[in-house]
Amino acid sequence: MEIKEYDCYFSNDEYNTKEIKIIKSIPYDKEVDLDYTISIAEMMEECYNMSQMAEEHSYSICFDENKKLIGVVLNSIGSEGNIHLDLNTISNRLVVLNCKYVVFIHNHPLYPPEPSKQDLTNYDFLKMYYKQHFVDSLIVGYDKEFCSINIFKDFDGLWRFDNKEEQEVEYILKKGNGGN
């Protein structure tokens, strides 16, 4: 399997229309399952090394009507602690790619992946804006932990990438039974 990354360019026609092009393909030998968002966070960590990025990066992970991965679209690059999302631009790209389901993911370069108030506000807005197309919003922290905001809102939990060879993922509950 290859992970395709898309970006927007002007075409060479007389109208300078915008078009989405594949800018790179990254070999990836694991399954990316829309219903198992851990696989999406793992893919982004392995292919993009998001936990090591020095600035916030936001991506849309796009899937077709059969929940098959279409590709990755860079939404925006921000500063160490802030990022701006232009929903019109993001929406136009998703429409051109015929994206039926989307998972948003961004990183926290200097902080753990617990969602900020702004992250939670953005999550609620994205969920309302994209309705049935919206699946989840993920945050990758500098320490190789990541958070599914869906899970966080329900259980206040984080996922941790383990550095073992098996690349196991351990669920850590912050509250409730067995939580730390």
Average pLDDT of span 2-14: 88
C-alpha closest to that of 140 among 96, 180, 109: 109
Give residue 44's pLDDT band: very low, low, confident or very high (50, 70, 90): very high
The CATH H-level superfamily of 2-173 is: Cytidine Deaminase, domain 2 (3.40.140.10)
- Token pair for 132: 């049935």
Burial of 30 (0-12, 13-18, 19+ CB in 10 A): exposed
47-93 tens-digit pLDDT: 999 999 999 999 999 999 999 999 999 999 988 878 888 888 888 88
pLDDT of residue 154: 63
Compute the distance between CA of residue 76 and CA of residue 91 in angstroms, rounded to an integer: 13
DSSP state of 116: P
pLDDT of residue 158: 52
Average pLDDT, the chain: 82
Give the predicted TM-score (pTM) of the model: 0.81
**Other CB atoms within 10 A of residue 116 CB:** 13
142-170 tens-digit pLDDT: 888 888 888 776 655 555 554 433 333 34
Q: Which amino acid is at 1?
A: M
